Amino acid sequence: MEVGDDWELCFPEIPNISCWKPPSTWPETLFIDFALYSISVLTAFLNLLIIISVSHFRQLHTPTNILLLSLAVSDFLVGLLLMPIDAVKRTHCWFLGDFFCSVFRFLVDIILSASVVNMVLISVDRYLAICDPLHYTTRITVNRVKVCVCLLWFCSVAYNVYFFLLHVYQQLYITPCYGDCATLIDNIGAFLDLVLNFFVPVTVIIVSYMRVFVVAVSQARAMHSQITAVTKQISVTKTAKKSELKAARTLGVLVVVFLMCFTPSYFTILVGPISRSHSTANFIQYLYYFNSFLNPLIYGLFYPWFRKSVKLIVTLQILQPGSCEANIL
């Protein structure tokens, strides 16, 4: 990493082993911190609304919403823990020591892995609900989905133990300087993470939603062909086109937003690491986090029940006896 003449040492008392930090004026630092913390608060708040809604109202205790709840939990932790700590790490030197650096990286890997797998399970759930509706209610139950969610989090922890131990080893023997919390990943770890945490999930999501899209379009065309003999052919054609556009729009939002937020961070694995002080690295990392802010908008705000539940939560009507039985669907 190239160091400019105006850079400062993180620990001037130990100049030989201290990391360097780029110069920044206090207005610039204040603006960056305010922007990052604002997004962090909004991310935590929006996902907390989903957590309260799905947990409180009995009508929302469905298999799909249980997956949505698990996704909201991981995204809530991103806004509550990862974003603020990473904001401090990127705008200031790391003063919490090597151990907490390893713990922080471990939390990052667990939470983000869980978020990715949650999105995969949601796509598979929608695939089964639309492509196999006759067996969906018997095969996909609330209890089975709860077991899957527990396994999801357990596997996320177990999978990232390797990277945690690798990071601890790096901090003990390979740390180039003090004041930084960077991750140096080996070739095996990079390959595993690229395949299991990116290529496989992206493939499953794209295949699932492509199948959903094809089925939705075929159903719309089937309805159109069955009613072509009726006098209202024009209105039916418009309805079929609207169904096709709606299916295409939903597919585009789910897949494109996911790829836009996650692809850049994994692209860096292919081209090599970027300096932590590099503005591109900061943008890529927070684009990765920004998906947690977008998820409640995509999966929550598009549902009418979410707006109703938010109104009941904000007005504190959920504190009334029997509010969990309220009709919000």
> What mean pLDDT comes out for the span 273-294?
70
What's the pLDDT score for residue 196? 84
What's the pLDDT score for residue 237? 44
Q: pLDDT-based confidence at 101, cuts 50/70/90?
A: confident
Q: pLDDT-based confidence at 275, cuts 50/70/90?
A: very low
Residue 275 backbone dihedrals phi, psi, to 5 degrees: -55, 140
Lookup: tokens for 111: 């939470």
Q: Is residue 265 in some structural domain?
A: no
pLDDT tens digits, residue range 4-54? 455 677 777 776 767 777 666 667 677 777 888 899 999 999 999 999 999
Q: Is residue 305 in some structural domain?
A: yes
Q: Is residue 299 in some structural domain?
A: yes
Among residues 153, 197, 206, 203, the alpha carbon closest in space to that of 288 is found at 197
Q: Is residue 3 in some structural domain?
A: no
Instruction: Look at 245 and 114; give whichever has higher pLDDT.
Output: 114
What's the pLDDT score for residue 137? 85
Lookup: tokens for 79: 């806004």
pLDDT tens digits, residue range 203-245? 898 888 888 878 777 766 665 565 554 444 444 444 444 544 4
Query: What residue numbers bound the domain in which 303 lies?
Result: 26-198+277-325
Give the range among 162-176, 186-200, 280-294 with minimum mean pLDDT.
162-176
The answer for residues whose C-beta is within 8 angstroms of residue 264's C-beta and 6 or more apart is 284, 287, 288
pLDDT tens digits, residue range 300-322? 667 778 888 888 998 888 888 88
Q: Is residue 234 in some structural domain?
A: no
> What mean pLDDT comes out for the span 148-173?
82
What's the pLDDT score for residue 26? 67
pLDDT tens digits, residue range 69-78? 998 999 999 9
Q: Is residue 267 in some structural domain?
A: no
Residue 18 backbone dihedrals phi, psi, to 5 degrees: -90, 145
Domain of 31, CATH number, reads: 1.20.1070.10
Does this model's pTM top 0.85?
Answer: no
Q: Is residue 181 in some structural domain?
A: yes
Number of domains forming the structure of the chain: 1
CA distances for 77 relative to 85, 158, 266, 309, angstroms: 11, 18, 21, 21
Distance CA(62)–CA(248), nearest Å, equals: 25
Q: Is residue 17 in some structural domain?
A: no
> What mean pLDDT comes out for the span 246-265?
69
> What mean pLDDT comes out for the span 100-110?
86
Among residues 328, 173, 189, the alpha carbon closest in space to that of 269 is found at 189
Among residues 133, 203, 193, the alpha carbon closest in space to that of 163 is found at 193
Instruction: Look at 120 and 238; give whichever has higher pLDDT.
Output: 120
